A = this chain, B = another copy of it.
């Protein structure tokens, strides 16, 4: 089996490779893992030996099929546990991430499948992130970040791309939670802040906020 550390590296590499097609760089991984580039290099050698990543010195890394499968499995566990915490134990959506960071490493295939069943095979976690199925497949959907939309566009909030408690509590205070319908009324030239129409009310949010809200776009 893999150590917690190895699993966390794989997950970090997986998430970083979502944004670009090109190989993931050492410094980016160091940032994501809150460690030093030299430590990353050490671990990359180890993961490469285990055939979990393709690694060429100075050129960055990509996950192998084996590595990707492992990473997606961890993501699946993380998101299922988050659903459990919110749906069954009444945690708030801003309280579950850190606990799920621990629970995602619990090692039992049977446990994951029983948990999935117990939760009613949920499709998304409390932050709107898709939960891969047992085979690692994601339901295809097209999301767009709020800041990529134009004046007059409408949509439904389907998720977030930032999980800090501070951010999630802020959204809640604004009434911007998953499932809410929004319409863009105005985008300020000055600072990129956006005026939204939400449930008949007008709300102003900073560009910062719009960059972390995902909209279901059809």
Measured CB to CB, the residues of A under 8 A from B are 85, 88-91, 95, 98-99, 102-103, 105-108, 110-111, 114-115, 118
Contacts of A91 in B (CB 8 A): 110, 114
7 shortest interchain CB distances as A-B pairs = A89-B114, A102-B106, A99-B108, A89-B118, A99-B111, A88-B118, A103-B106
Residue of B nearest to A88 (CB): B118
In whole angstroms, how far apart are the Cα atoms of A108 and B85 in the complex?
12
Apart from A91-B114, A102-B105, 8 more pairs, CB < 8 Å = A89-B111, A98-B108, A99-B106, A99-B108, A102-B107, A102-B108, A103-B103, A106-B106
Query: Which B-chain residue is minimally distant from A115 (CB atoms)?
Result: B89
* Chain B neighbourhood of A111, CB < 8 A: 85, 89, 99
In the assembled complex, the Cα of A130 lies from the Cα of B123 at a distance in Å of 37
Chain B residues, Cβ within 8 Å of A95: 110
Q: Verify B99–A114 contact, CB threshold 8 A.
A: no
- Taken together as a complex, chains A and B put the C-alpha atoms of A91 and B95 apart, in Å, by 28
